[in-house]
Amino acid sequence: MNQPEPQTIPNAILPPQSVSFWQAFMFWLKLGFISFGGPAGQISIMHQELVENRRWISERRFLHALNYCMMLPGPEAQQLATYIGWLMHRTWGGIVAGVLFVLPSLLILIALSWVYIAYGDVSVVAGLFYGIKPAVTAIVAQATHRIGSRALKNNWLWGIAAASFVAIFAFNVPFPAIVAAAAMIGYFGGRIAPDKFKAGGGHGKTKSYSDPALIDDDTPTPLHAKFRWSRLAQVVLAGALLWLIPMGFLTTSYGWDHTLTQMGWFFTKAALLTFGGAYAVLPYVYQGAVEHFSWLTPVQMIDGLALGETTPGPLIMVVAFVGFIGGYAKVLFGPDAMFLAGAVAATLVTWFTFLPSFIFILAGGPLVESTHGDLKFTAPLTAITAAVVGVILNLALFFGYYVLWPKGFDGAFDWVSALIALGAAVALFRFKGNVIHVITACAVIGLILKTLIL
């Protein structure tokens, strides 16, 4: 009697037995060059590659890490990459994942910033930006709607959003003060009416995967990811030194009031205020970089956001553009080294902006790994997220003003820019157009209009 042949499961996916450091290195490098689409797009790419295709980490462990990163100030997609890299390959794995998420964007932005500042008055460049600026206005308006629809679940949160908008629009209240006030409202509101301050939303519905993953739901926490007080102290001390050494060098070499020193201090503060993503901190960057320090003009700020939208990496990388333009315009190293001044300033602000994110992950990761239960938003953070909606609405109006009335209200209304912005808004809201495609199309339209018609 013939024995039945053993049955095989077609297309069964087995977890990788191991992933070498260099295999992971090549993936993080690739991710740094393809991470378009803002945090939602970047998280979607990581989910597809790491959870669905490669099975390096399970859905539950991925979302557990994401929930922690969403609670932190800073770019959650970059922090998520750092977290997973750290979980797989210890401290250096996290550092490599986080750095490679940012490095390609930094190099690209330095090059584009130089082209912009050195050749921005060339008709081709001017035409491209003429079309891009209205598109950016529509993109910020879409961000307001997207975040607001997810965050404003009741009248309490709507009220916080409205109050934050009035505070920054009508009274020019500093962004840190708005964050502090919202956190206080959330702290007390969460005790008075806890149901009104429950976190809502997320990054979409989850899906279960039956195929095992390298880091699966029941995979024990690796030894390096277990919490130890000595390890926490080492991370905090190393992080403090990595901030103090360059800041001390700048202060002693150039003085506290020098542009580079002030950039380091300003963007350290900005890094700790990025609750709600890059759009939330941009008004704070605008207040400091444009109004207080005059590192760049309002129009240049809009152009910088446009460049940030069209390059890979976190949108907060627009700070590299701010740093480059500031260093270049201030001629920090003399007229013969203007590019060097811009590149150094861009690298400097990137260092101070992202350093806290690495510390948060390497210090807090073991605490998060100590439990695999759901990690919930706190009431203060829920209130801060609501306040962020009002702040971003103010940012949309700010961009709209400079795009539609380039010479102020006393000047003519730019109806062509208005039509481009309207078309971009329809593409984004009605047809769910890809941001890169919308910006590219608007750039081509602007180039054609500027060179052939206007």
Tell me how far apart the alpha carbons of residues 232 and 364 are, in angstroms, rounded to a whole number.
8
User: Among 84-98, 156-170, 190-204, 214-228, whose mean pLDDT is lowest?
Assistant: 190-204
DSSP 6: P
Tell me how far apart the alpha carbons of residues 209 and 206 are, in angstroms, rounded to a whole number.
10
Whose structure tokens read 């260099």?
22
- Contact status, residue 105 vs residue 317, Cβ threshold 8 Å: yes
For the residues 194-216, what does the mean pLDDT come to?
Answer: 63
Region of residue 241 (phi > 0: left; psi between -120 and 50: alpha; otherwise: beta):
alpha
User: What is residue 324's predicted lDDT score, i.e. its pLDDT?
Assistant: 97
Residue 370 has pLDDT above 80, yes or no: no
User: What is residue 279's predicted lDDT score, i.e. its pLDDT?
Assistant: 67
Q: Which two tokens stand for residue 416?
A: 């062509």
User: Among 39-43, 89-93, 319-323, 340-344, whose mean pLDDT is lowest?
Assistant: 39-43
For the residues 225-239, what does the mean pLDDT come to?
Answer: 94
Rg (CA), the chain: 23
Whose structure tokens read 């969460």?
190
Residue 253 to residues 261, 344, 373, 415, Cα–Cα distance (Å) = 9, 15, 49, 50
When pLDDT is cut at 50, 70 and 90, the band that residue 382 belongs to is confident
CB-count burial class (<10 Å; 0-12, 13-18, 19+) for 200: middle
User: What is residue 37's predicted lDDT score, i.e. its pLDDT?
Assistant: 60
Q: Read off φ and ψ for residue 37, nearest 5 degrees.
A: 95, 15
Residue 5 has pLDDT above 60, yes or no: no
When pLDDT is cut at 50, 70 and 90, the band that residue 52 belongs to is confident
- Contact status, residue 293 vs residue 266, Cβ threshold 8 Å: yes
Closest by CA position to 25, among listed 72, 81, 77, 63: 81
Tell me how far apart the alpha carbons of residues 34 and 77 are, in angstroms, rounded to a whole number.
13
Region of residue 37 (phi > 0: left; psi between -120 and 50: alpha; otherwise: beta):
left
* Portion of the chain with pLDDT greater than 90, in percent: 43
Torsion of CA 179, 184, 190, 191, to 10 degrees: 180
Residue 132 has pLDDT above 80, yes or no: yes
User: What is residue 20's predicted lDDT score, i.e. its pLDDT?
Assistant: 92
pTM: predicted TM-score of the whole model, two decimal places: 0.74
Residue 246 has pLDDT above 50, yes or no: yes
Q: Which two tokens stand for residue 45?
A: 């790419």
Q: What is the pLDDT of residues 134-173, one digit of tens each?
A: 988 888 888 788 778 877 889 999 999 999 999 989 998 8
Q: What is the pLDDT of residues 418-446, one digit of tens each?
A: 999 999 999 999 998 877 788 889 989 99
- Contact status, residue 182 vs residue 273, Cβ threshold 8 Å: no
The more confidently predicted of residues 387 and 348 is: 348
